[in-house]
Chain A
Amino acid sequence: MNEWLDPLLLSRWQFGLTTMYHFIFVPLTIGMALTVAIFQTAWVRTDKAKYLQLTHFFGKIFLINVAMGVVTGIVQEFQFGMNWSDYSRFVGDVFGAPLAFEGIVAFFLEATFIGLWIFGWDKLPKKIHLGTIWMTVVGSIASAYFILAANAFMQNPIAYTINEEKGRAELTSIWELLTNPIALAAFPHTIFACFMVSAGLIISVAAWHLYRNQHLETMRPALKFGLWMMVIAGVLTTLAGDQLGLAMVDAQPMKMAAAEALYHTATGANASFSVFTLGTPDGVHELFSVRIPYLLSFLSTHTFDGTVEGINNLQAQYVTLYGPGDYTPTIWITYWAFRWMIGLGLAHMLVAVVGLWLTRGGRSPQRTWVWKIAILSFPMSLLAMSVGWVFTEMGRQPWLVFGLMRTADGVSPGVTGVEILISLIVFTLLYGILAVVEFKLILKAVQKGPDDAPVQDAESGAHQHAVTVY
Chain B
Amino acid sequence: MDLTILWFWIIAFMFIGYFVLDGFDFGVGMSLPFLGRDDTDRRVLINTIGPVWDLNETWVIVAGASLFAAFPEWYATMFSGFYLPLLLILVALILRGVSFEYRHQRPESSWKKWFDGLIIVGSAVPAFLWGVAFANIVRGVKLNANHDYIGTLFDLLNPYALLGGITTLLLFFVHGVVFVSLKTEGDIRMRARKLATKAGIVTIVAAATFLAWTTLAYGTVASALLAALAAALLIASFLANLRGAERLAFALMAGTIGLVVLTLFASLFPDVMPASNDPANSLTIANASSSTYTLGVISWTALIGMPVILLYQGWTYWVFRKRIGRAHIDLAAH
Contacts and interface: CB of A to CB of B under 8 A. Distances in A.
State the main secondary structure of chain B at its contact with A.
helix
A96 B213 CA distance: 35
SS class of chain A's interface: helix, strand, loop or mixed? helix
Contact of A170 (B66, B146, B293, B320): B293
B294 A97 contact: yes
Most buried by A among B50, B64, B328: B64
Interface stretch (B178-186, B227-235, B305-313): B305-313
Interface string A358-373: 0000000000000000
Given A419-B83, A423-B87, A92 B54 contact: no
Interface residues of B, number: 74
B332 A85 contact: no
A109 B84 CA distance: 31
Contacts of B173: none
A290 interface: no
Interface stretch (A116-124, A183-191, A237-245, A304-312): A116-124
A434 B98 contact: yes
B47 interface: yes
A80 interface: yes
Interface stretch (B100-108, B240-248, B250-258, B268-276): B100-108
B316 A78 contact: no
Nearest to A146: B65
B35 interface: no
A422 to B, nearest CB: 7
Nearest to B44: A469
A358 B213 CA distance: 76
Nearest to A118: B51
B209 interface: no
A171 B146 CA distance: 22
B69 A112 contact: no
Given A67-B98, A108-B58, A468 B332 contact: yes
Most buried by B among A96, A114, A168, A470: A470
B319 interface: yes
A116 B320 CA distance: 9
Contacts of B70: 96, 100
Contacts of A71: 93-94, 97-98
A186 B213 CA distance: 52
Contacts of B312: 109, 112-113
A287 interface: no
Contact of B58 (A91, A103, A172): A103
Contacts of B76: 81, 85-86, 88-89, 92, 412
Given A96-B69, A99-B69, A414-B148, A470 B294 contact: no
Contact of A470 (B47, B68, B69, B144): B47
Given A74-B60, A99-B68, A111-B57, A467 B333 contact: yes
A320 interface: no
A275 interface: no
A107 interface: yes
* Interface range, A side: 35 or more
Interface in B120-161: 144, 146-150
B92 to A, nearest CB: 10
B62 interface: yes
Interface in A141-198: 163, 168, 170-172, 174
Interface of B: 43, 46-47, 50-52, 54-55, 57-58, 60-62, 64-66, 68-73, 75-81, 83-84, 86-87, 90-91, 93-95, 97-98, 100-105, 144, 146-150, 290-291, 293-294, 297-298, 301-302, 305-306, 309, 312-313, 316, 319-320, 328-329, 331-334
22 contacts: A73-B61, A74-B90, A75-B94, A81-B68, A81-B76, A81-B78, A88-B72, A96-B70, A97-B294, A100-B68, A103-B58, A103-B66, A112-B313, A114-B54, A115-B50, A116-B319, A118-B50, A123-B320, A170-B294, A413-B146, A419-B84, A470-B46
Given A423-B83, A470-B43, A470-B104, 10 more contacts: A82-B87, A93-B290, A97-B69, A103-B65, A104-B301, A170-B290, A171-B294, A413-B146, A414-B81, A434-B94
Top 6 A-B pairs ranked by shortest CB distance? A92-B72, A81-B79, A96-B69, A103-B62, A466-B333, A414-B148
